[in-house]
Amino acid sequence: MGFRFSSLLGKAIGLSVVLSIVAGTTLSIIAFLQTFELENRSFESASMTELKRISQAAALVGERSDAADAYQRLIEQSVENRPISTLTLERDGELLATFERPMSLSSRPILDLLTPRAIPLSYQTNMSNQESQYIVNAIFDAHEAFQNFATNQWRNAQTGFYRAMTVVLIVSLIFYFLFARPIQNILKVLAAPATSPINIHYEQDNQDEIGRLVAALNNAFLQEHERSIENQTCSRRYAEHQTHVGSFTRSLVIPFL
């Protein structure tokens, strides 16, 4: 398009674009952190509710004959389709059941900056009709717990980036066609060798800033051209006068030679 960022206007547009991108990125990061904080609170609340349910269910098992198997089934059922890597059930310091599985191999560096990969949570309960204390300890996998959140936020970030780039492109084109190209046309006319009065053509409304600038330049060029023609006429007349004076002088001197 012939738009050069070396020009002052180009630098101004480039600086505005950079500042817009920086401001948009900063606002996006702040919004992301606030959204993650809300998501983290919701996750902790839901996880503690689940651990409470497990401990209360374990207390109801009590001293049944198949209590050991019931505790283990309770633990295994509780980890199904949940981001739990380790889950243990204790009663008065005695281990009743446990479950453990390795964390999946995944890489989420941004998520790792916000929260540790292993999130430990614990809940203990005392039933009113029992003296025993049940404690449920769990380690949650943050990559699994926030997988949907990270995926949605990344999709939203991509969408926001594409929208921002579209807006920047549209604004840049508007600046180019309204300001940069008319100014470049003016400079091109001024740089060309002039054999006649310089006249800059501007198709836009003459009432805008560039239109008034073009009109003022055209008026100045016309006045300069008229002065140039007047100076040339005066110089030609002076040269003709000097020629006549020289001829007359020679006509006077030759008879006396």
Integer Cα distance of 136 and 124 in angstroms: 6
Cα-flanking dihedrals φ and ψ of residue 199, to 5°?
-135, 115
Counting beta carbons within 10 angstroms of the beta carbon of residue 136, is it exposed (0 to 12), middle (13 to 18) or buried (19 or more)? buried
Integer Cα distance of 192 and 216 in angstroms: 19
Integer Cα distance of 213 and 183 in angstroms: 10
**Tokens representing residue 199 in the block:** 């006249």
Decide: 125 and 55 in contact? Cβ < 8 Å.
yes
Integer Cα distance of 152 and 157 in angstroms: 9
Strand partners, 120: 139
Conformation bin of residue 178: beta by default, left when phi > 0, alpha when psi is -120 to 50? alpha
pTM here is 0.59
Give the CA distances from residue 119 to residues 9, 10, 54, 85, 132, in Å, rounded to whole numbers and listed in that order. Answer: 53, 50, 18, 10, 27
The helix (H) or strand (E) run that includes residue 88 is strand 84-91
Decide: 198 and 190 in contact? Cβ < 8 Å.
yes
| DSSP character at residue 146 | T
* Residue pLDDT tens, the chain, 257 long: 444 444 556 676 677 777 777 877 888 888 888 888 999 999 999 999 999 998 888 888 766 667 888 888 888 888 888 899 999 998 888 888 899 988 888 778 888 888 888 999 999 887 655 677 889 999 999 888 888 888 888 888 778 778 877 877 887 777 777 777 777 776 776 666 655 555 555 555 555 666 666 677 767 766 776 777 777 777 777 777 677 666 656 665 555 55
Please compute, for residue 81, the number of CA atoms within 13 A of its CA located in the half-sphere on the CB side: 0
